[in-house]
Structure 1
Amino acid sequence: MQKHKQTQLSQPERQAPQYISTVQAPLYRASTIIFPNCKSFTDRHWSDAYDYSYGTHGTPTTYSLADQIATIEGADHCLLAPSGLSAIHLINSALLNTGDEVWIPDNVYGPTHDDVMELQKKYAINVKVYDPTQVETIQFGEQAKLIWIEAAGSVTLEFPDLIAIMQKAQQHQVLTALDNTWGAGLAFCAFDFGTEHYAVDISVHALTKYPSGGGDILMGSICTKNRALHLNLLRTHALQGIAISGDDAAQINRSLPSMVIRYQQHQNNTLKIIDFLKTRTEFAQILHPSLPVHTGHQYWKNICSSGLGAGLVSAIFHTNFDLQAIQKFCDQLQYFHLGFSWGGPTSLIMYYDLSKMRHYRTPHLSSGWLVRFCIGLEQAEDLIADLEQALDTLQHS
């Protein structure tokens, strides 16, 4: 059959062989996916492990990334979302109904708090806040459905008694969702921890951070071991049209082989920064789970037996340093840049007023402005020299 040139360009007759062996897997970009025949169309089902029916459901590129993240987390199933927050919202919207009770820790990731509060306002979800340093503040009601866990906590990095929280949740048949971005599936396994092999129901991971490693990709993941729970989440995932870019998935797939090495280097740099910060009189308190005086240190030590503690450290200035001084310190830094997120090659800093961030009293925390350091992959000695010159500027002002 003779083809018009326009048809030839739209449907070329000659194609190079499609399968070769390369270090990096092929990148698939797709909205429409072509079914080879009618039988393959009628035999498919949305719950299939690899549902190649439309781009929003997945391609070999996105499914490969999901499989890798599930392996890292020790899970059986993984869903991908456009960001960590998107993954969090998917869980809340899939599992919570009017009248349900959801528990969040006082040191929860700020947008998680905002998301459940919005659900409370619109759909009468009952939001309860617990003190992650005092498990007894968790008093589940009859309608308790879901509890969020941060390990370590946002900004102040308290490490909770995961085992005690799991025991209480299981006794009341409450689902557990862990924001595992800090641990990244490397510091401990969310689906097998403690001598009794506890497992959370859901592990959420902002792939934006350590898996990406470049500070240029937004993505989130939801990992589970229970198939019924996975299908519940998958159904909402499909109905909401949640999808990720094949290009973004390929970028993270490319970064994963170096993630363990990068995570370890982030921590090595962080430990050196901590040793320096402890020598400075400007700070009233240094916050990091590896420090014996840190709230939850023993729980971190028991759960994170590998000794891994990520690349975040926070420090609280003495109260004689006001907001103007803190801002001057941040502006004086050359290698630390003011910005949110972490896990990339560049070191970041952000300052916080804890008095406006916590529901419970925090006697374990000093008063004063807090700065969070997100330690990158620069030479540690250069970072220390930068901190030293910025701090010295404060002393001489």
Structure 2
Amino acid sequence: MSSKQNSCFNVATQLTRLGRDPGEQHGFVNAPLYKGSTVIYQTMDDLEHRRSRFTYGTAGTPTIANLENAWTQLAGAAGTVLSPSGLGAVTLSLFSTTKSGDHILMPDSVYRPTRNFCNGMLARYGVTTTYYDPMIGSGIEALVQPNTSTIFLEAPGSQTLEVQDVPAIVAVARQHGIKTIIDNTWATPIFFRAHDHGVDVSVEAGTKYLGGHSDLLLGLVSANAESWPALRATYDAMAMLPGADDCVLALRGMRTLHMRLKEAERRGLDMASWLQARPEVSRVLHPAFESCPGHEFWKRDFTGSSGLFSIVLKPGYTREGLARMLDHMAVFGMGFSWGGYESLIIPFDCAQYRTATSWKPEGLALRLQIGLEDIDDLKHDLDQGFARLK
């Protein structure tokens, strides 16, 4: 079904139809899995002129194209490329908008591996990075340099969940001819349509909610018409593509993405409200809560919230107590990533690597991913944990 035909449906319906065509699949509901490297040409002339929809495995397969096309329509983009991980998607996007001698602006709340890539790989290639307060809004104009090529955003921010004023920053970027990239993993295009807000390139870790089952690593990068040629050229030069099996898992995850996100939103809000009332908790960092920096921007620009948020404990608790709490959780696991069916909890402290802002919370901080377990079991597990904390 064409993009125009699909666009007349609401998003939940679109997700059941994107990236497949039973009419071309002998009536089967799901598209077949294509795995391979070599593409056979019928004539020498076809071979010499690369006259084929798919020229070689690194240029894509029907399976990869199904996911690319589906995500392009969902994100409202001109095109999408894939990578084997969310970080791979970040690096692809930055390589597509920078060259040696450029300067980029990066929020201080950005995903730490993205920061490491800027401070390491990009710096080696002569790209300099200035970190900025994620709440700077239109004030970011004061940080623009003559060689600034890219402003990166992440809304909400990693771990501390600050929601940026995306339209204000995009307006400054457009005024100066600067490209904008956003890491939109937390909201996905379901809750925030980045390209509709003027962002040039949108990055998604499909590892999280698109996969939904903690069993694949995947990145997606979508771009508007202006930025699409450079992004595709960068992708073609690097051939950093995922395996076809992972694309099938992602397409399967897409069918239930809306339903799972809405349930993650419901559960996340329930758990965050319960935690806000706990005597051990000082504040909740959840974009839907007024205590979260940038809540007003979330309320204005986003259509929902997912199941990842953080809390800051009241002063006085120790790391030893925290270890007693976390080491013996019965339901919550300790592990990185999120967006899967299992609930996760990790401590964090970004004071050591933030450079544009100071992270000085009043107490210890925890990030929680709310999964699909019974809510009462999750609350009981935390209640027991808080008892050990004391």
TM-score (norm 1): 0.88
After superposition, what is the alpha-carbon deviation per residue over 1:143-165, rounded to whole angstroms, capped at 9, x for unaligned?
00001101111101010111111
The letter for the 2-side match of 1:221 is: L
Q: Which runs of 4+ in 1 moved over 4 A?
A: none
Q: Within 5 A, what are the aligned runs for 1:124-163?
A: 124-135=126-137, 136-138=139-141, 139-163=143-167
Q: Given the alignment, which residue of 195, 219, 230 partners 1:191?
A: 195
Q: Within 5 A, what are the aligned runs for 1:335-346?
A: 335-346=331-342
The letter for the 1-side match of 2:229 is: L
Q: Does 1:282 align with 2:284?
A: no
Aligned partners of 1:255 and 1:120: how far apart in 2?
A: 33
Aligned partners of 1:372 and 1:318: how far apart in 2?
A: 15
Q: Given the alignment, which residue of 345, 356, 376 partners 1:381?
A: 376
After superposition, what is the alpha-carbon deviation per residue over 1:353-383, rounded to whole angstroms, capped at 9, x for unaligned?
13224223448x6322211001111122211
Instruction: Tell me the SS of whatever aligns to 2:118.
Output: helix
Q: Does 1:315 align with 2:321?
A: no
Corresponding residue of 1:63 = 65
The letter for the 2-side match of 1:30 is: G
Q: Within 5 A, what are the aligned runs for 1:161-180?
A: 161-180=165-184
- 8 Å contact 2:105–2:150 — kept in the other structure? yes
The letter for the 2-side match of 1:223 is: S
Instruction: Tell me the SS of whatever aligns to 2:326.
Output: helix
Q: Given the alignment, which residue of 90, 113, 129 partners 1:88?
A: 90
Please provide the CA RMSD for this pair.
1.8
Aligned partners of 1:234 and 1:19: how far apart in 2?
A: 27
Q: Does 1:35 align with 2:37?
A: no
1:349 CA drift (Å): 1.1
Aligned partners of 2:222 and 2:318: how far apart in 1?
A: 42
- 8 Å contact 1:354–1:369 — kept in the other structure? no
Corresponding residue of 2:19 = none
Corresponding residue of 2:9 = none
After superposition, what is the alpha-carbon deviation per residue over 1:156-185, rounded to whole angstroms, capped at 9, x for unaligned?
101011111111111111100000111111
The letter for the 1-side match of 2:375 is: A
The letter for the 2-side match of 1:247 is: D
Q: Within 5 A, what are the aligned runs for 1:83-122?
A: 83-122=85-124
Instruction: Tell me the SS of whatever aligns to 2:105.
Output: strand
Structure 1, unmatched stretches of 5+, are 1-17, 194-198
Deviates more, 1:351-360 or 1:102-111: 351-360
After superposition, what is the alpha-carbon deviation per residue over 1:277-330, rounded to whole angstroms, capped at 9, x for unaligned?
0121112211001012321011000001x2x11111101122311222222211
The letter for the 1-side match of 2:99 is: N
The letter for the 1-side match of 2:365 is: L
Instruction: Tell me the SS of whatever aligns to 2:339.
Output: coil
Greater C-alpha Rg: 1
Instruction: Tell me the SS of whatever aligns to 1:65.
Output: helix
1:340 CA drift (Å): 0.5
After superposition, what is the alpha-carbon deviation per residue over 1:215-245, rounded to whole angstroms, capped at 9, x for unaligned?
0100101101225x32222222122221211
Corresponding residue of 1:210 = 209
Instruction: Tell me the SS of whatever aligns to 2:129.
Output: strand
Corresponding residue of 2:233 = 235
The letter for the 1-side match of 2:326 is: C
1:65 CA drift (Å): 0.5
Corresponding residue of 2:12 = none
Deviates more, 1:179-188 or 1:233-242: 233-242
Aligned partners of 2:135 and 2:353: how far apart in 1?
A: 16
For residues 120 and 191 of structure 1, do their structure 2 counterparts lie closer, same or farther at Cα, with a shift above 3 Å needed?
A: closer
For residues 137 and 171 of structure 1, do their structure 2 counterparts lie closer, same or farther at Cα, with a shift above 3 Å needed?
A: closer
Deviates more, 1:83-92 or 1:234-243: 234-243
- 8 Å contact 1:350–1:371 — kept in the other structure? yes
Q: Within 5 A, what are the aligned runs for 1:347-386?
A: 347-362=343-358, 366-386=361-381
Identity %: 32
After superposition, what is the alpha-carbon deviation per residue over 1:251-292, rounded to whole angstroms, capped at 9, x for unaligned?
111111100000111111111101110121112211001012
The letter for the 2-side match of 1:183 is: A
Number of positions where the alignment pairs a residue of Structure 1 with one of Structure 2:
365
The letter for the 2-side match of 1:298 is: E
Q: Given the alignment, which residue of 125, 142, 155 partners 1:123?
A: 125
Deviates more, 1:121-130 or 1:143-152: 121-130
- 8 Å contact 1:82–1:242 — kept in the other structure? yes
After superposition, what is the alpha-carbon deviation per residue over 1:58-108, rounded to whole angstroms, capped at 9, x for unaligned?
111010001111122111200001111111112222332222111100100
Aligned partners of 2:221 and 2:387: how far apart in 1?
A: 44
